[in-house]
Chains A and B, each alone.
Chain A
């Protein structure tokens, strides 16, 4: 059973494959009742994401004014869907999924194959003149006060304008795109992201910046290419290695490596030096971004599969698909990077709002050691901007079990074990920042006391733990579900 699931997971090449796999497992549904683009699609997506463990993907195929078009939401919207993507059964715990991903880190090799453009499914249909994005994309307003219609789950591929032939310096990342008329869109990024660097380099040198926007992609790409990795690592190679499966690439019409099996690819070129108003957009902290002037791209061509599926995401005040999509892969790199220096780190939970709050479990080597580990976490690539609140717990506390974390806070935290680091870098969209981009960090040391700390450790009750107990709790849950049927 487990091996079948793993094999099925490795044979996924496209969104379509994955939707079929999810459908067979009861994790994808088709919504054929007629809906209005607003507010129905949003409302249904939000209602689904209330069930973070078991929500299905939803494919809409009867949206008013978009006859014959399909939109998918919630493809990565639950832990069960993530489990199936990783080749694990429904009901796999978040902790198990975390170690599944952490175990793959740096372990496997990439398998990249190339498909000639003429045989790539993504190029089945091609539009090079009379371009109107609305002809292809059944868009809708994701949150009520968004400034327009957004593509919230687009993977954007580009080459470094100063090093066009370097495969490794190709960037693939998820950026929010706002439609700005039939053949234009704005892209939001910050200078430290790869796309931000490439935009600034193009404008500094006057070199053209061409991009390919991929929609409805291999579901592994969104999971593994959403979080920054080293600038000279290819996200395609990385996603292939982490999935333990081949990835099929082809070329876009404007010469960029793209996934051969994506649903839709939009080719575009940046309008150097131009900026137009972008936003607001309901972002992952659960608040709207401001309105700013962002770079604008002009669409030069669109390729798509026959009867394409437009994949989008609901993002806003949590819990949402954004949290299940990026949560584990935000946590696992921090874990791997910390363990290079501190093998005492036993798990990292950075599921909350892209790691604005993180919980790290560590075997204390000496009194105060957890604080040292916390400071190291702040200097990991993700920690620099995102890890705002850190809770440090002992190795006997599961950071994925918030009841246990609260126990540690209640019984092992002293008020003078809290550190506030004022005026640190912050993600610009954190609404609690002092000014956008600058804010305070908080470390709560909820680990127990060790010498030379004069306060002794309490005499702990040791309830039974371990695999046997995990299996028993799954059995109880299964018996309960069985009883309901």
Chain B
């Protein structure tokens, strides 16, 4: 399990989905959180990806995922 922590739900284990490269050199990496489905690029401004700075309004509570409504129920 990777040590990368999700800036939205604070859970570890984020996946590496893609690396942007230039001349063989990695420029940035896109991560994805398997718990809350947040995707981010490690080159983004801190306001979006630094858990200490991100607006708490957009946090996801990993312990309470049942609160999110399922769309298109029969």
Q: Are B72 and A295 in contact, with the CB atoms below 8 A?
A: yes
Given contact pairs A67-B22, A277-B60, A291-B60, A203 touches B28 in the complex (Cβ within 8 A) = no
Q: Would B44 and A280 count as touching, CB distance under 8 A?
A: no
Query: If A147-B37, A148-B37 touch, does A64 touch B43 (CB 8 Å cutoff)?
Result: yes
Contact status B48-A144, CB under 8 Å: yes
Find B32's partner among A66, A181, A188 (CB 8 Å cutoff).
A181
Nearest CB on A from B17, distance (A): 6
Q: Determine if A277 and B74 form an interchain contact, defined as CB atoms under 8 angstroms apart.
A: no
Q: Which residues of B are found within 8 Å of A204, using beta-carbon distances?
A: 74
A196 to B32, CA, bound (A): 27
State in angstroms the CA–CA spacing of A295 and B30 once bound together: 22
Residue B47, interface by CB 8 Å? yes
Chain A residues within 8 Å of B69, by CB = 290, 292-293
Query: How far, in angstroms, from A421 to B69 measured CA to CA in the complex?
Result: 28
Q: Which of A259-311 contact B (CB under 8 A)?
A: 275-278, 280, 288, 290-295
The answer to whether B37 and A65 touch across the interface, beta carbons within 8 angstroms, is no
Give complex CA distance A203, B60 in Å. 28
Whether, in the assembled complex, A36 has its beta carbon less than 8 Å from a beta carbon of chain B, the answer is: yes
Q: How many residues of A contact B (CB 8 A)?
A: 43
Are the CB atoms of A36 and B17 closer together than 8 Å?
no
Complex CA distance for A38 and B70, rounded to whole angstroms: 30
- Give chain A nearest CB distance to B11 CB in angstroms: 12
Question: Shortest distance in angstroms between A45's beta carbon and chain B's nearest beta carbon?
Answer: 16
The answer on a CB contact under 8 Å between A134 and B18 is: yes
Contact-size category for B: 20 to 34
Complex alpha-carbon distance, A58 and B18, angstroms:
25
Cβ–Cβ contact A65 & B48, under 8 A: no
In Å, the complex CA distance between A37 and B42 comes to 11
- Cα–Cα, bound, A53→B26 (Å): 40
- Verify B72–A64 contact, CB threshold 8 A: no
* A178 surroundings in chain B (CB, below 8 A): 39
The answer to whether A280 touches B20 (Cβ under 8 A) is no
Residues A145 and B55 in contact, CB atoms below 8 Å apart: yes
Q: Is the CB of A37 within 8 A of B37?
A: no
Q: Find residues 21-36 in chain B having any chain A CB closer than 8 Å to their own CB.
A: 21-22, 27-28, 30, 32, 36
Determine the residue in chain A with the shortest Cβ distance to B48: A144
Docked-complex contact B71 and A141, CB < 8 angstroms? no
Across the interface, do B58 and A277 meet the contact criterion of CB distance under 8 Å? Answer: no
Contact with B along A194-219 (1 / 0, CB 8 A): 00100110011000000000000000
Contact B41 A64 (CB under 8 A): no
* Alpha-carbon distance A341/B47, docked complex (angstroms): 53
Q: In the complex the two chains form, what is the Cα distance from A132 to B21 in whole Å?
A: 15
CB closest chain-A residue, reference B35: A277
One of B22, B38, B55 near A65 (C-beta < 8 A): B22
CB of B3, distance to nearest CB on chain A (Å)? 19
**Is there a chain A Cβ closer than 8 Å to B65's Cβ?**
yes
Give every chain A residue within 8 A of B20 (Cβ-Cβ): 64-66
For residue A65, which residues in chain B have a CB less than 8 angstroms away from its CB? 20-22, 27-28, 43
Complex Cα distance, B72 from A278, in Å, reads 13
Q: Which of B21, B22, B30, B37 contacts A276 (CB 8 A)?
A: B37
User: A179 at interface (Cβ–Cβ under 8 A)?
Assistant: yes
Whether B36 contacts A277 by the Cβ 8 Å rule is yes
**Bound: A291/B20 CA distance, A:** 28
Q: With an 8 A cutoff between CB atoms, is A255 at the interface?
A: no
Contacts A65-B20, A293-B69; is A147 near B28 (CB within 8 Å)?
Answer: no
Separation of A351 and B7 alpha carbons in the complex (Å) = 37
| Contact, CB under 8 Å: B28 / A200 | no
Is A482 in contact with chain B by the CB < 8 A criterion?
no
- A293:B68 contact, CB within 8 angstroms: yes
- Residues of A164-191 whose CB lies within 8 A of B: 178-182, 188-191
* A64-B74 in contact given A182-B17, A182-B18 (Cβ < 8 Å): no
Q: Which residues on A sit within 8 Å (CB–CB) of B17?
A: 132, 134, 181-182
How many Å from the CB of A2 to the closest CB on chain B? Answer: 46
List B residues at the A interface (Cβ < 8 Å).
Answer: 8, 15, 17-18, 20-22, 27-28, 30, 32, 36-41, 43-45, 47-48, 54-55, 57-58, 60, 65, 68-72, 74
Closest 7 CB pairs of A and B: A65-B20, A148-B39, A134-B18, A65-B27, A277-B37, A293-B70, A145-B58
Q: What would 10 more interface pairs be, CB under 8 Å, given A65-B20, A277-B60?
A: A134-B18, A141-B40, A141-B41, A147-B38, A179-B39, A181-B32, A290-B69, A292-B68, A293-B71, A295-B71
14 A–B pairs (Cβ distance < 8 Å), ordered by A: A38-B45, A38-B48, A64-B28, A65-B22, A65-B27, A67-B22, A144-B47, A145-B54, A189-B71, A275-B70, A276-B37, A292-B70, A294-B71, A295-B71
